[in-house]
Amino acid sequence: MVAGAADWLLEHPPKWKDRFFFYGAYYYAQGMYQRGGDHAETAEKLVQDTLLEKQNEDGSWGREPKGPGLTIYTGVALVALEIVVVLGLAHRRARLPRRALTAVAAATLPG
Q: What is the pLDDT of residues 39-84, one digit of tens each?
A: 888 998 999 999 999 998 888 888 766 667 788 889 899 989 888 7
pLDDT at residue 70, as a whole number:
83
Over residues 6-50, the pLDDT tens digits come to: 899 889 999 998 888 999 999 999 888 888 888 888 998 999 999
| Whether 5 contacts 62, CB under 8 Å | no
pLDDT at residue 35, as a whole number:
85
pLDDT at residue 37, as a whole number:
81
pLDDT at residue 26, as a whole number:
92
Q: How far lies 10's CA from each of 3, 28, 29, 46, 78, in Å?
A: 11, 10, 11, 10, 22
97 has pLDDT over 70: no
Cα–Cα distance, 52 to 60 (Å, whole number): 10
Cα–Cα distance, 56 to 91 (Å, whole number): 28
